[in-house]
Amino acid sequence: MNLIRVFDTTLRDGEQAPGFSMSAPEKIRIARQLESLGVDVIEAGFPIASRGDLEGVHAVACEIRNCTVAALARAKRDDIDVVLDGLRDAVHPRVHIVLATSDLHLQYKLRMTREQALEAISTNVRYARQHCGEVEFSAEDASRTDIDFLCRAAKLAVEAGATIINLPDTVGYALPDEYEAMFRRVIDSLDGAPGIILSAHGHNDLGLGVANSLAAIRGGARQLELTINGIGERAGNASLEEVAVALRVRQATLGVTTNLHLDKLYATSQLLSEITGVAVAANKAVVGSNAFAHEAGIHQDGILKNPLTYEIISPEEVGVPKRQLVLGKHSGRNALRTALVEIGYTPTPEELDECYKRVSALADESKNVQTRDLLAIARRVIRTRGTETAVAAG
């Protein structure tokens, strides 16, 4: 199996999203959890941005022992020097240099020619490599870059000492087949890229961040840059938990594996929500409150007979305590019977029918029926059996 290295950028790209700024102690808490989760690289910040960001990067670099700690620099010597300062106590440091390569960014943002961009890449990657054993180069806006120029930029970065080449879909523009083809073309231009890791960094502006990350693997990428809960600029980044589960569930098809401990995904998501104060949407894949909740009677019946009927991975595998069979107007008798047994009642068929009518009527009014509501209904309907158990359960 091919190993996919997971580069977590929650503390850098994720933190750049409005409302997600984190203090140094908060970054350390997240970093410890990411290390426990099994990510290969933690991008701790953009140190030139502020004194606080530099302190956060250094704090993470001092704390993390078992995975690489990276920090971002523009293709400028001053930026690189600050990154080196922030990473000075890291066991496994990585300097991550970024420079845009699309004509749009070169002309309107950087005011640079293509030749000036190539010179900046070569000069600054070489400088960083002289001071750090591991250098990654990112061609910002790669998915909108002329492919021949992108290949030239990647080749120069490798010649200057970069061993990781990142081809970001910076604004979430690419379609999966285009993104895959871009990786194939760049790898071909590097003669198969021996000793070089190609990396993908997807954004979710068209909702394709995860799809593009998987497409990049098919194109030859062996590092994915992801964030917990998919946080990040604008519509966010490709979600780590979604990619991780996709790679596990479709492992036979994709033929790759990771070092991640999937049973820590939910706890990591919850920790980030606690620190940022931003909860994930209920329908968020893998970690949303509805990801393993079932209300429809047909689904509930299938789940009770065999969970694989409506779940492609068990909740316990990703650290969710258990699935929920929600009692609502779409629920069926099988789920209701199971819920009644769990609270200490074993209804006859007639009692189950009466409970079902009352639950359905209540659900029409209040959307969901809570355990206390079900207890009240059971006490009224099931009068002669299970009384002692019911009292204990109540």
Q: Which two tokens stand for residue 82?
A: 């600050």
- 336 alpha carbon, distance to own chain's centre: 35
d(CA 137, CA 160): 10
pLDDT for position 384: 52
pLDDT for position 394: 44
Pick from 278, 244, 137: nearest CA to 196:
137
pLDDT for position 329: 87
Beta bridge mates, 294: 325
Residue 324 to residues 75, 331, 378, Cα–Cα distance (Å): 50, 12, 20
Helices (H), the chain: 24-37, 51-63, 77-86, 103-105, 114-131, 147-160, 176-189, 209-219, 240-249, 251-254, 265-276, 297-305, 333-342, 349-366, 371-381, 387-393
Pick from 203, 111, 98: nearest CA to 153:
98
d(CA 138, CA 202): 12
pLDDT for position 386: 45
Pick from 37, 38, 14: nearest CA to 26:
14
Contact 216, 247 (CB under 8 A): no
Q: Which two tokens stand for residue 2?
A: 């091919």
pLDDT for position 1: 57
Give the CA count within 13 Å in the CB-facing half-sphere of 236: 17
d(CA 277, CA 275): 6
Q: Where are the domains of the chain?
A: 2-276, 293-393
Q: Which two tokens stand for residue 112?
A: 């640079």
Name the stretches of the chain with pLDDT < 50.
Answer: 386-394
Pick from 262, 270, 267: nearest CA to 317:
262
pLDDT for position 12: 98
CATH of domain 2-276: 3.20.20.70
d(CA 53, CA 20): 13
Pick from 283, 287, 169, 165: nearest CA to 226:
169
* Helix or strand run (H / E) with residue 225: strand 223-226
- Residue 165 exposed, middle or buried by CB count within 10 Å (0-12, 13-18, 19+): buried
pLDDT for position 5: 98
Q: Which two tokens stand for residue 241?
A: 């938990």
pLDDT for position 368: 77
Pick from 218, 226, 136: nearest CA to 179:
218
Other residues' Cβ atoms within 10 Å of the Cβ of residue 391? 10
At 330 the three-state DSSP class reads coil
d(CA 269, CA 253): 27
d(CA 23, CA 19): 12
